[in-house]
Amino acid sequence: MGGIGKTSLAIELVNRINSRYSQTIWRSLQDAPLFTDWATDILAQLGESPTDNPLSQLVKRLRDKPVLLILDNWESILQSGSASGRYRPDYEDYGELLRLVGEVPHQSTLLVTSREVPRQLLRLKGNPKVQALELPGLHAPRCSKTLFQTLTAAPRKIPPSPNSSPTAAATPSPSKSSPP
């Protein structure tokens, strides 16, 4: 659902939890960058030189150091009008990233905001490392409280260890990238 403040809620959450991470990176997918271009930019932000396989390199980096990675407007890389959460042609690597972050142990958190639920998120349903929160029709203060409680509960349920990989999706150097 558009216009319920998913981005605003994500900004509030980031302000509350970003001190837990070595880096916080916020990217909007509204202009639908190709995955390789996007991953190259993220890797550079993380101080890495991209290799031939930026997806594997990014997942390794997320495993090695705690990064809060926020991807806003995920629906921009999905097929228009597709209720099934299918990706536009040439954007499937984003879905693979979502799948790997949900399955591979790491220290990072991926927060996705989207009007549509990506199919990889549906496949990860029931995985205790993945939290999905739909925000249909709630007013902003209640959404904010619900999002914060849901996402901050994850560390208590999943103790920090090499086997934990918290991933979250809100569906309705030490440098910190700022949200829009």
**For the chain, what percent of residues have pLDDT higher than 90?**
37
Position 139 in a domain: yes
Separation of alpha carbons 103 and 163, rounded Å: 10
Number of domains observed in the structure of the chain: 1
Which pLDDT belongs to residue 40?
94
pLDDT at 155 over 60: no
The domain in which residue 71 lies consists of: 6-171
Q: Please, are residues 84 and 97 in contact by the beta-carbon 8 Å criterion?
A: no
18 confidence band (pLDDT: 50, 70, 90):
confident
Domain of 147, CATH number, reads 3.40.50
Peptide bond into 172 cis (omega under 30): yes
56-84 average pLDDT score? 88
**CA–CA distances in Å: residue 154 to residues 20, 90, 167:** 13, 32, 9
Position 178 in a domain: no
Position 126 in a domain: yes
Burial group, residue 176, by CB count within 10 angstroms (0-12, 13-18, 19+): middle
Separation of alpha carbons 26 and 142, rounded Å: 23
120 confidence band (pLDDT: 50, 70, 90):
confident
Which pLDDT belongs to residue 42?
95
64 confidence band (pLDDT: 50, 70, 90):
very high
161 confidence band (pLDDT: 50, 70, 90):
very low
Position 177 in a domain: no
115-142 average pLDDT score? 73
User: pLDDT for 168-178, tens place per residue?
Assistant: 444 332 234 44
Phi-psi region of 137 (alpha: psi -120 to 50; beta: other; left: phi over 0): left
Position 1 in a domain: no
pLDDT at 139 over 60: no
Position 176 in a domain: no
163 confidence band (pLDDT: 50, 70, 90):
very low
116-123 average pLDDT score? 80
Separation of alpha carbons 103 and 72, rounded Å: 21
Which pLDDT belongs to residue 63?
93
What tokens appear for 99 in the block?
Answer: 């799948």
